């Protein structure tokens, strides 16, 4: 089952777990082709029956060398590539990249562009969470929420399609603002979507939140304390569910998030159920932001003055945004030429995935699946 380069590294489990009664330890290779590893994650599990003695993640199956590609592209040319990292939240990736380059250039997008950016990014957050909810519930065995969430995510994708022609890898933003003015009826569509999706979120909750089996499967599963979460660099809803009230949109506001009124939902126990509740609350907060943004959207230009040939001054900058999965950071080094000297992406999924080992210690096989689901990883972003 395991091939020759599967040497299990010594895991720093507090007490080395021994299989019961000298039963044979079972080494199971979960993935890279497996229905519940969300792509090509490979997890090597050491099992005693159903109990997990230790696990190791093997990643890199989707490695495309995005950071290397960036060094051979101009700043503008690299923009579409970032959509391919976290392909379920492509708009967020684009926002992070554009803002970082803008920071390097010293320009700022005009207010109207900022508002449209916020609307699209928050719509994308809703879409990303919907995809997470559907697949997570499917992993735990509830098949119906998947279809509900995909039905509603479709509406978001339709808005994207009408706005920029693409549904998934949107390439919605340009450095310095937007390429496209919002189409006629954009605001109306967004308003309609908000009023359409709010009751649907109650519908998801109705299926799961008080479902006994759902509670049994998620409460107390994959617990991570706030201290561990910070030490492991875990961000996003996973961190907030452990009780750390930290959201980059509030802590270090970017775009124009400081204009909007919203709460940071947090949990207490840091278990899978709290992460579920936090994300469900984030749905509602995102809708609040969208509502405010669409009500306050100003008229004006959508593109700042940026040179045709972008040559940012020599220097380096790190900028990060709150992507649906956590802190998405870009570290760009410019040498004054048209091409970035180095682009480093700080992927939230990659760092969050590292917590899998801690969260799965002593758990059962089924919990590993639940925890992979609750971490909300996208392998395109883990491997880049």
Partner 1 sequence: MTPVATPFFFYLLAGIMVIGGILVITRKNAVHSALALIVTLLAQAAVYLMLYAPFVAGVQIILYAGGIMVLFLFVIMLVSIERTVKERQFNKQWLVGIAAALALGGLFIAVYTKGKGIFPTHEMSGGEAQNTQIVGNLLYGQYMFPFEIASLLLLVAIIGAVVMAKRRL
Partner 2 sequence: MISRFIEYIQSYLTSDQTPGAAGNMFWAFVYIILIFTGLSVAVIAMNWLERKILAHMQVRLGPMRVGPHGLLQPIADAIKLLLKEDIMPAEADGFVFWMAPLIVVLAAFTVFIVVPFGPTHAVTDMNIGILFMLGVSSLSVLGIVMAGWASNSHYPLIGALRSSAQMVSYEVAMGLAVVSVILMTSLETGTGTLSMIGIVRAQQTQGTWFIFKFFPLGLIAFFIFAVSMVAETNRAPFDLPEAESELTAGFHTEYSGFRWSLFFLAEYSAMIAVSSIAVTLWLGGWLRPFPNLLSGSTWTLVFSLFPGITLLLLAAMCFYSTVRMPKHPYFRIQTIGLGGFGAVLALIGLILFIPQVSLRVGDIYWFSMKVAAFMYLYIWYRGTFPRYRFDQLMKVGWKILLPMGLGILILTATVAMRSEIWKAISEALHRS
Partner 3 sequence: MIASFKARYGSGIEALTHLGQNFIVVDQSLIPEILQILCHDEQFDYCVDVTAVHYPKREKQFDVIWVLYSFARNERIRVKTLIAENEAVATCSSIWPTANWLEREVFDMFGIKFDGHPDMKRILLPDGWKGHPLRKDYGILQQDNEWVQINLGIESGQ
Among 24, 184, 210, 309, contact with partner 1 (rule: CB under 8 A) = 24
Round to the nearest angstrom and report the end-to-end CA distance of the chain.
Answer: 27
Q: Which stretch binds partner 1 (CB under 8 A): 18-26, 222-230, 267-275, 305-313?
A: 18-26
Q: Is the dihedral of CA 54, 215, 31, 357 positive or negative?
A: negative
Closer CB to partner 2, residue 34 or residue 191?
34
H helix count then E strand count, the chain: 15, 8
The reply to whether 20 sits near partner 1 by the rule CB under 8 A is: yes
Q: What is the radius of gyration, based on Cα positions, of the chain?
A: 21
The reply to whether 366 sits near partner 2 by the rule CB under 8 A is: yes
User: Are 123 and 159 spatial neighbours (Cβ–Cβ below 8 Å)?
Assistant: yes
Tell me how far apart the alpha carbons of residues 305 and 288 are, in angstroms, rounded to a whole number.
31
Closer CB to partner 1, residue 7 or residue 24?
24
Number of residues interacting with partner 1: please give it, by CB under 8 A: 4
Closer CB to partner 2, residue 2 or residue 252?
2
Smallest gap from Cβ 21 to partner 1, in A, equals: 8
Bridge partners (DSSP) listed for residue 173: 178
Site of tokens 């090597």: 44
Tell me how far apart the alpha carbons of residues 74 and 334 are, in angstroms, rounded to a whole number.
11
Rounded to 10 deg, the angle between the 186-208 and 111-140 helix axes is 20
Smallest gap from Cβ 216 to partner 2, in A, equals: 5
Phi, psi dihedrals of residue 293, rounded to the nearest 5°: -65, -40
Residues that bind partner 1 (CB under 8 A): 20, 23-24, 49
List interacting residues with partner 3 (CB under 8 A). 5, 9-10, 12, 59-60, 63, 65, 67-69, 71-72, 103-104, 106, 230-234, 244, 246, 251-252, 315-318, 320, 327, 329, 331, 333, 341-342, 344, 346, 350-351, 354, 383-384
Q: Which residues bind partner 2 (CB under 8 A)?
A: 1, 26-29, 34-36, 47, 49-50, 137-144, 146-148, 151, 207-208, 211, 213-214, 216-217, 364-367, 369
């Amino acid at each position: 089952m395991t091939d020759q380069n599967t040497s299990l590294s010594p895991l720093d489990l507090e007490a080395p777990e021994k299989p019961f009664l000298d039963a044979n330890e079972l080494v199971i290779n979960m993935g890279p082709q497996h229905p519940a590893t969300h792509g090509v994650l490979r997890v090597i599990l050491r099992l005693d029956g159903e109990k997990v003695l230790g696990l190791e993640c093997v990643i890199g199956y989707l490695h495309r060398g995005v950071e290397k590609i960036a060094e051979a592209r101009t700043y503008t040319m690299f923009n579409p590539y970032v959509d391919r990292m976290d392909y379920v939240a492509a708009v967020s990736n684009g926002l992070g990249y554009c803002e970082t380059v803008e920071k390097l250039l010293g320009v700022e997008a005009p207010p109207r562009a900022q508002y449209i950016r916020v609307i699209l990014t928050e719509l994308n957050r809703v879409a990303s969470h919907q995809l997470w909810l559907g697949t997570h519930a499917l992993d735990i065995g509830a098949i119906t929420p998947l279809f509900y969430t995909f039905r509603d995510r479709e509406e978001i994708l339709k808005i994207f399609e009408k706005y920029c022609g693409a549904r998934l890898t949107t390439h919605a933003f340009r450095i310095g603002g937007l390429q496209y003015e919002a189409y006629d009826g954009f605001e109306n569509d967004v308003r309609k979507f908000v009023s359409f999706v709010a009751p649907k979120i109650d519908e998801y909750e109705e299926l799961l939140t008080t479902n006994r089996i759902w509670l049994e499967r998620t409460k107390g599963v994959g617990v991570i304390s706030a201290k561990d979460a910070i030490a492991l660099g875990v961000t996003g809803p996973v961190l907030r569910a452990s009780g750390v009230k930290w959201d980059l949109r509030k802590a270090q506001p970017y775009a124009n998030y400081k204009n909007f009124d919203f709460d940071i939902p947090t949990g207490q126990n840091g278990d899978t159920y709290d992460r579920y509740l936090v994300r469900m609350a984030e749905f509602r907060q995102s809708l609040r932001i969208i509502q405010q943004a669409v009500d306050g959207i100003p008229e004006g230009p959508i593109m700042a003055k940026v040179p045709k040939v972008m040559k940012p001054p020599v220097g380096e900058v790190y900028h990060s945004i709150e992507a649906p999965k956590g802190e998405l950071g870009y570290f760009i080094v410019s040498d004054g030429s048209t091409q970035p000297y180095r682009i480093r992406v700080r992927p939230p999924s990659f760092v969050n995935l590292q917590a899998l080992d801690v969260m799965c210690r002593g758990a059962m096989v089924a919990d590993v699946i639940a925890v992979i689901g609750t971490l909300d990883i996208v392998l395109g972003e883990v491997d880049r």
